[in-house]
Amino acid sequence: MANVAVIGAQWGDEGKGKVVDWLASRADVVVRFQGGHNAGHTLVVGSQTYKLSLLPSGLVRGKLGVIGNGVVIDPEALLAEIARVSAQGLKVTPETLRIADNAPLILPLHSALDRAREGARGENKIGTTGRGIGPAYEDKIARRAIRVADLAEPETLADKLDELLLHHNTLLRGLGAETFEKQALLDHLLALAPRILPFAEPVWERLDELRRVGKRILFEGAQAVMLDIDHGTYPFVTSSNTVAATAASGTGVGPGTVGFVLGIAKAYTTRVGSGPFPTELHDATGKLLGERGHEFGTVTGRPRRCGWFDAALVRQAVKVGGVQGLALTKLDVLDGLPELRIGVGYQIGGEVLRRLPASPRAQAVAVPVYETMEGWSSSTRGARSWADLPAQAVKYVRRIEELVEAPVTLLSTSPERDDTILVRDPFEG
């Protein structure tokens, strides 16, 4: 049986939480491999709604959850999330959750710098969540990050804070923001240490053992391919690599362990924050999609921008993300629309492209080239087989497959976990 990696194939918020939760029933362990608490997954289970940011979605299914070294961890945010879901009845203990001991930490100074920079950009804001994700990844690359294992060594922690504060306080002063004192930060981290360290271990070792005995591993990505730091709509991207290849480096396994790559895409397109969005709708249809789809960011609460399905964008994500099959979500949101459009390319100047160029200026002026299809009048909500779908809805899905050059292996027709049409079990490889 194959392992599975789940990644977003648009700009995030595609419904990964539900799909991962659904797949977790077939997995033994669910692993987060990148991002931080700037991404959220919403899971609806009966009358309970769980909003997860750092915790792997598999915990809702009672599966072992692992947070890999590719994730940047805000220890306060993690503990608050554990407390919140524990109050909802989930069991989160060192027996059910393991954290990579080499994962970098997000400190209060990271979020302070994030907010100060974003404020200084004025109208040129990138649209970050202000939660310190980017600055924490910067420290990781600059080799000055404080990592989970450092919490067990007070002297190491004190020495590393000297270098960290030399860098960050200089930047904060330059931006007119409040600086940080070493002793206060040290006391803060030492107080958190006994609450975080019981979860810590070299998770690469555990994952290797699970792989060798044939356990099924589900790798859970955050954000999406078009927010990838290399392959997304730079600079309006996240601060980590979101493609499936990161599942290996972000957890400490070999690339052969990753297995089947499942990309998640909505049946239309949404985006939170700033950046190019060629198929965005500013009319009544865009508003309708937002209202029907309850399009608000899980973490930020910001309204999502809505538009037609962009097949050229998803095709690009399929290619660079290594996607082998798509899970198409929220098909029911399109019910009753008399006409649907699919973006098949972009006109930039006198040229038509089937990909978004790397240049931000070109991305900003890209005009979508559309293909029009007839909509359907009957409901798809709650459908659990192809036979339950209107013929025109099936045609829409089949046309998407052709345009993005990847098969639809799962189709989600409501937020409920069982309202899913399974075409091919990703764990079968």
Question: Helices (H), strands (E): how many in the chain?
Answer: 12, 18
Pairing of strands 4-8, 217-220: parallel
Q: Annotated catalytic residue: which of 37, 41, 110, 168?
A: 41
Picking from 130, 135, 74, the residue whose alpha carbon sits closest to that of residue 99 is 74
Structure tokens belonging to residue 237: 């991207």
How many Å is the Cα radius of gyration of the chain? 22
Number of other residues whose CB lies within 10 A of the CB of residue 266: 27
Q: Is 294 a catalytic residue?
A: no
Q: Is 110 a catalytic residue?
A: no
- Length of the chain, please? 429
Cα 99 from Cα 32, distance rounded (Å)? 10
User: Can you spell out the DSSP letters for 214-256?
Assistant: T--EEEE--S-GGG-TTTSSTTSS-SS--STTHHHHTTT--GG
Q: How many CA atoms lie within 13 A of 24 on its CB side?
A: 25
Structure tokens belonging to residue 77: 């945010």
Q: Annotated catalytic residue: which of 13, 139, 228, 332?
A: 13
Q: Which amino acid is at 295?
A: E
| CA dihedral (72, 35, 243, 429) positive or negative | positive
Strand ranges for 179-337 from DSSP E: 200-201, 217-220, 260-266, 269-271, 305-307, 309-310, 325-329
Residues designated as active site:
13, 41
